[in-house]
Amino acid sequence: MQNRHERFRFKSSEELLEKVKELGLSLPFSEDTNILLTPVFTNNRKIFNRFVVQPMEGYDSEPDGSPSELTWRRYLRYASGGSGIIWFEAVAVMHEGRSNPRQLMLNKNNKEIFKRLIENMREKTPLNIQPFIVAQLTHSGRYSKPDGIPLPLVPCHNSLLDRGNETILTDNELAKIMDKFIESALMAYEAGFDAVDIKACHGYLIHELLFSFNRKNSIYGGPEHEKRFRFLLETIDRIRQAKPEIQITTRLNLSDLYPGGFGTTADGRDYELSESLMLTGELEKRGITIINTTMGSPYFNPHVVRPFDNPLPGVKPPEEHPLTGVIRMIEGTGIIQHKYPNLKVIGSAYSWLRQYSLNVGAGVIKEGMATFIGFGRNSFAYPHMPLDLMTKGKVDPKKFCITCSGCTRLTKSMRPGGCVIHDREIYGAELKKLIADGK
Ligand SMILES: Cc1cc2nc3c(=O)[nH]c(=O)nc-3n(C[C@H](O)[C@H](O)[C@H](O)COP(=O)(O)O)c2cc1C
Ligand code: SF4
């Protein structure tokens, strides 16, 4: 019963570490957090500190996929917050692959707008930090909803995930989607992004190809891992050929934590990273120097992706303590980082730890379990946390994300996403409208 869901209620780091012990787990921890402010050098580029703004869809683009005023505001907040890496949210490579009608989409008509946003972000960055800015390129596959109604495009049927209206993509259609990734990568480079992420996580198309065991008569799926890895690796190879200067990275699901998923034991209860390690090796062979790790699916097991205090209204709390999820992600990432010490690996799911995320992040880096520490929801809530640490030598515990799931509630209802607690004027008001609409 110790591993039951609980809200964060620790008044000191001692209490937190006591709970970790009670759960029979261990958590890296360092009182000294200075390592978070040390630079990392990769591909002749200095990354100023170990903080990463993780990608988070804001559901607030203009209808044509361009950044809106709200998108612009979010990214200027991140830029002025002092993180060394700012990882743009999922940006669709084509309309059919958008997860919602307000998902960002990069195309030749709006490339200049993205370029101005990137320039503006660089102007707003404090202390002469030059953030490393990544474009996360995506096709939403099974979760495509380009016009607000589901248009699930999948590599093969999956008895656990199917809802009955899936269309299976042919090899020919997949090849055309790959062309769109190449075009978008070139445009992202021209728009001034430092790197492109070929997104392979959270159940979207390229991730689903990695476990498309049931795909028949195809070069992009089936029992053999070479076929299932092929789409991702071929996309990377083709971008390299088209423009060797483009730095490429990927956000990779190390494990899905459901039966039949990628990097998961047969019963779906634990990670089994042999294929994740093999794939990471292939990425390293292709000159990839940074990878951003994650696990789970926001649609199937959201507590794995983002451990929380409060589930969405009407949803039962998960059957595990949030610390179990936090530590699972840290340990899985650590396995990858230990096996590939030259790769710069970004860890995820630190927001639940509030202010102790800094001590845990510093401990993780010191133990060689990751190179960078990523913040998703806490970047909505407290984007200036890195800057406070740099300029004041301390952070404000009252400003941290409280993992209430308010931002997720907004985006699940296709409203603009942000922090309903700490950015209340805009997003608290959005939540009020949502509640008034009876949702
Ligand atoms: C509203 C919302 C939108 C998200 N959108 C994306 C996305 O576009 N791409 C992605 O890779 N992850 C996305 N994520 C996952 C986060 O990047 C991150 O992995 C997750 O929130 C766990 O980190 P945290 O505990 O610091 O929040 C999203 C999360 C939230 C809450
Ligand atoms: S609404 Fe704010 S406090 Fe709540 S989970 Fe999102 S970022 Fe955190």
Residues 253-305 have pLDDT tens digits of 999 999 999 999 999 999 999 999 999 999 999 999 999 999 999 999 999 99
What pLDDT is attached to residue 235? 98
Spacing, Cα 228 to ligand 2 middle (Å):
36
166: left (phi over 0), alpha (psi -120 to 50) or beta: beta
**Residue 110 DSSP code:** T
Residue nearest to atom 4 of ligand 1 (CA): 56
Rounded CA-CA distance 187/109 in Å is: 10
Q: What is the mean pLDDT of residues 130-155?
A: 97
Question: β-pairing, 372-375 with 51-53?
Answer: parallel
| Orientation angle between helical segments 322-339 and 13-22, nearest 10 degrees | 80
Cα angle value 54/326/317 (rounded, 5°)? 105
What pLDDT is attached to residue 223? 94
Contact between residue 104 and residue 161 where contact means Cβ atoms under 8 Å apart: no
Pocket-forming residues, ligand 1, beta carbon under 6 Å: 54-57, 89-90, 136, 201-202, 251, 294, 305-306, 348-352, 375-378, 407-408, 411, 417
Q: Is the pLDDT of residue 439 over 80?
A: no
Q: What is the mean pLDDT of residues 336-358?
A: 98
What pLDDT is attached to residue 44? 87
**Residue 5: both structure tokens together:** 């869901």
What pLDDT is attached to residue 410? 96
Residue nearest to atom 8 of ligand 2 (CA): 401
What pLDDT is attached to residue 423? 97
Pocket-forming residues, ligand 2, beta carbon under 6 Å: 377, 380-381, 401-407, 419-422
Ligand with minimal distance to 302 CA? 1
Report the SS3 class of residue 88. strand
| Better-scored residue on pLDDT, 76 or 3 | 76
Report the range of poorest mean pLDDT among 24-28, 101-105, 124-128, 377-381: 124-128
Share of the chain above pLDDT 90, in %: 97
Q: What is the mean pLDDT of residues 205-214?
A: 97
What pLDDT is attached to residue 124? 92
Q: What is the mean pLDDT of residues 108-119?
A: 96
Q: What is the mean pLDDT of residues 349-373?
A: 98
Is the whole-model pTM more than 0.85?
yes
Q: Is the pLDDT of residue 130 over 80?
A: yes
pLDDT single digits (tens) 40-98: 999 889 999 999 999 999 999 999 999 999 999 999 999 999 999 999 999 999 999 99
Q: What is the set of domains in the chain, with CATH numbers?
A: 28-404 (3.20.20.70)
Q: What is the mean pLDDT of residues 29-48?
A: 95
Spacing, Cα 256 to ligand 1 middle (Å):
15
| Ligand 2 binding pocket mutation candidate from 8, 403, 423 (most atoms within 8 A of CB) | 403
CA distances from 282 to 166, 279, 289, 431 (A): 30, 5, 12, 44
Residue nearest to atom 5 of ligand 1 (CA): 56
Share of the chain above pLDDT 70, in %: 100
Q: Give the mean pLDDT of the chain.
A: 96
Rounded CA-CA distance 372/346 in Å is: 5
| Ligand 2 binding pocket mutation candidate from 53, 401, 432 (most atoms within 8 A of CB) | 401
